[in-house]
Structure 1
Amino acid sequence: MNDSFEPFVQSASQDQALPLVCDSPHSGTCYPQDFGAAIPLQRLRSGEDTHVESLWEAVPRIGGTLIAANFPRVYIDPNRTLEDLDPELLDGTWPEPLAPGEKTRLGYGLIWRNVDAATRIYDRKLSLQEVRSRIDRYYRPYHQALSAAVEGAYQRFGAVWHLNLHSMPNNAYERLKIQSPHPLADFVLGDRDGTTCEPDFVALVESELRALGYTVARNDPYKGVQLIAQIGRPAERRNSLQIEIRRPLYMDEATRERSAGFGQLQADLGRLVERIASYLREQGGA
């Protein structure tokens, strides 16, 4: 654990050729010294979308922007609203109104309470000051960088396509306490039930992934949370799509190490990104 790291890494071509902004909010592997967790680091790491930013390394090469958090989501989750905070975690009363959602009830809010249903992260309450510090040092800089990239692309091109990049555990349904009649898909595309992204773009991503041999679901079990909700306004040509990848496709969930499938998946995502680039050029976004 250390504190000598920047909140995020931003990669872009020297001349951004496309209005494509991608972000990986949960792939961070730098754990701040003040975390104060009561469980071992290896258990904390189960919350990571480890290696997701590397899977999508082709994004800057084709003229898009890729932003990846360096801090871990179990420390503070940039894909939650500031109101989505569990008051039971705090040693005092939060001065602003809170609106914890269903995932917060399960332990996965702005500040995670659990890494799984049976394992709590802390054996203490968090002070208001340390939560404020996490927000100011990590959450806000990440959001500011993403917002600047999105708005910059929109101002330049008159449109923007945002991909919110994640990976999902193989037992996602179990973690979410969902009884599913079918196995978890290789990819889950989330557009909050058709509200955050133009249908043609979602269809393009789905068809390309299926052509590459993957199974694909929409909004099952992940619809997308704060980031695509705040960015996606397709009527204004502001499109936002969440993409979840089933982790066993590319890594060992226990060790977090890349598996033999990593290279193939990375190459396939490179092909997908090239097809997305062609689509955006056809839309007049270049």
Structure 2
Amino acid sequence: MDAVTGEIGLFEVREPASQTIPFVFNSPHSGRHYPAQFLSESRLDEMGIRRSEDHYVDELFAHAPNLGAPLLLAHFPRAYLDVNREPYELDPRMFDGALPPYVNIGSMRVAGGLGTIPRIVAENMEIYRRRLTVEEGLSRIETIYKPYHACLRRLIGRTHATFGMSVLIDCHSMPGNIRLSGSDIRPDFIIGDRYGTSAAAELSRAAMYFLEGLGFTAVRNKPYAGGFITEHYGRPVRGLHALQIEINRALYIDEVTLRKRPDFDDLARALTEFMGSMADYAAEFGPDSALAAE
């Protein structure tokens, strides 16, 4: 198991030697540095706490800098803090004390236990033995969430200033048993564009086309249309595009042991080809195109 325990890391940007394409890749849920204190406060064992990870997604997209795009990746685990949420989606039942009035306590994600500081991991497994202090929860947001998003904003802003457009690819994974509603289809990939509001339709169609050309089954927006990051940073009328990509974990790990499958490297190579195809496609568009700022 490749999880890391000990002092928590924050995040890092892996930069290309020179950014040559208008893309930013982001892996916010693949962090696997679990601080010892966090593990000691959890009722879950080291395997159970990992159920909410987007396992090794950072490694699957590791060649993005070689193609000319930055890759932002989290080292902190999603179970500790979820940056794909509003900054203050918090469950008051988790805290010993009153939360500030600006906190969103009524979202569906909070109700489901999956707020900014999650209450559960997958399969409704409770994380904590005790309630957290309000100060502890707010500290995670101030010291990790806000710097992470500030970094992501800088990368997107720099890309847009350089190329006249930017394309954020928000990289995630999904359980292998996900099916399309009313069918037996288990997609290999889901492309989310918030039902056409976070990216130009041409980009979504191109992503689907390239994945299907590599032999995968790809669908759009169902059941995952994109989370807070996709919704928040996608402004296609300004040339700011955001796509979420979900990868079926059964393609590359054993979901019981969480160990990589023998064909892990084959999938990584396919995703490198996918990234290259997307970059070539975007290169066809200049600052005056439908993809760029209006």
Farther-moved stretch of structure 1 (84-93 vs 44-53): 84-93
Deviations 1:195-236 (A, max 9, x none): 000011110110010111111111111111111111101011
Deviation at 1:129, TM superposition (A): 1.3
Residue 89 (structure 1) aligns with: 94
Residue 111 (structure 1) aligns with: 117
Contact 1:159 1:237 in 2 (8 A): yes
Farther-moved stretch of structure 1 (162-171 vs 104-113): 104-113
Deviation at 1:181, TM superposition (A): 2.9
Residue 29 (structure 1) aligns with: 32
Superposed, 1:166-185 pairs within 5 Å as 166-172=172-178, 180-185=182-187
Query: CA 1:72/1:172 → structure 2, altered by over 3 Å: closer, same or farther?
Result: farther
Query: CA 1:63/1:235 → structure 2, altered by over 3 Å: closer, same or farther?
Result: same
Residue 273 (structure 1) aligns with: 275
What TM-score does the superposition give when structure 2 sets the normalisation length? 0.91
Pick from 46, 51, 68 the counterpart of residue 41 of structure 1: 46
Deviation at 1:34, TM superposition (A): 3.3
Query: Which one-letter code corresponds to 1:225 in the other structure?
Result: G
Deviation at 1:179, TM superposition (A): 5.7
Residue 3 (structure 1) aligns with: 7
Query: CA 1:172/1:73 → structure 2, altered by over 3 Å: closer, same or farther?
Result: farther
Residue 71 (structure 1) aligns with: 76
Contact 2:54 2:172 in 1 (8 A): yes
Deviation at 1:101, TM superposition (A): 2.2
What TM-score does the superposition give when structure 1 sets the normalisation length? 0.93
Superposed, 1:235-250 pairs within 5 Å as 235-250=237-252
d(CA) in 2 for partners of 1:145 and 1:194?
25
Deviations 1:81-106 (A, max 9, x none): 02321111111111132334223222
Query: Which one-letter code corresponds to 1:144 in the other structure?
Result: A
Contact 1:106 1:117 in 2 (8 A): no
Look up the SS of the partner of 2:191 in the other structure.
strand
Q: How many residues align?
A: 281
d(CA) in 2 for partners of 1:129 and 1:148?
28
The runs of at least 4 aligned residues of structure 1 exceeding 4 Å deviation read none
Look up the SS of the partner of 1:34 in the other structure.
helix
RMSD of aligned Cα (Å): 1.7
d(CA) in 2 for partners of 1:218 and 1:104?
25
Pair 1:16 & 2:19 matched: yes
> What are structure 1's unaligned runs of at least 5 residues?
none
Look up the SS of the partner of 2:242 in the other structure.
strand
Deviation at 1:172, TM superposition (A): 4.1
d(CA) in 2 for partners of 1:223 and 1:210?
19
Contact 2:8 2:33 in 1 (8 A): no
Contact 1:206 1:216 in 2 (8 A): yes
Superposed, 1:80-159 pairs within 5 Å as 80-99=85-104, 100-159=106-165
Superposed, 1:209-224 pairs within 5 Å as 209-224=211-226
Query: Which one-letter code corresponds to 1:267 in the other structure?
Result: R
Superposed, 1:247-266 pairs within 5 Å as 247-266=249-268
d(CA) in 2 for partners of 1:213 and 1:179?
22
Look up the SS of the partner of 1:244 in the other structure.
strand
d(CA) in 1 for partners of 2:286 and 2:81?
37
Look up the SS of the partner of 1:41 in the other structure.
coil
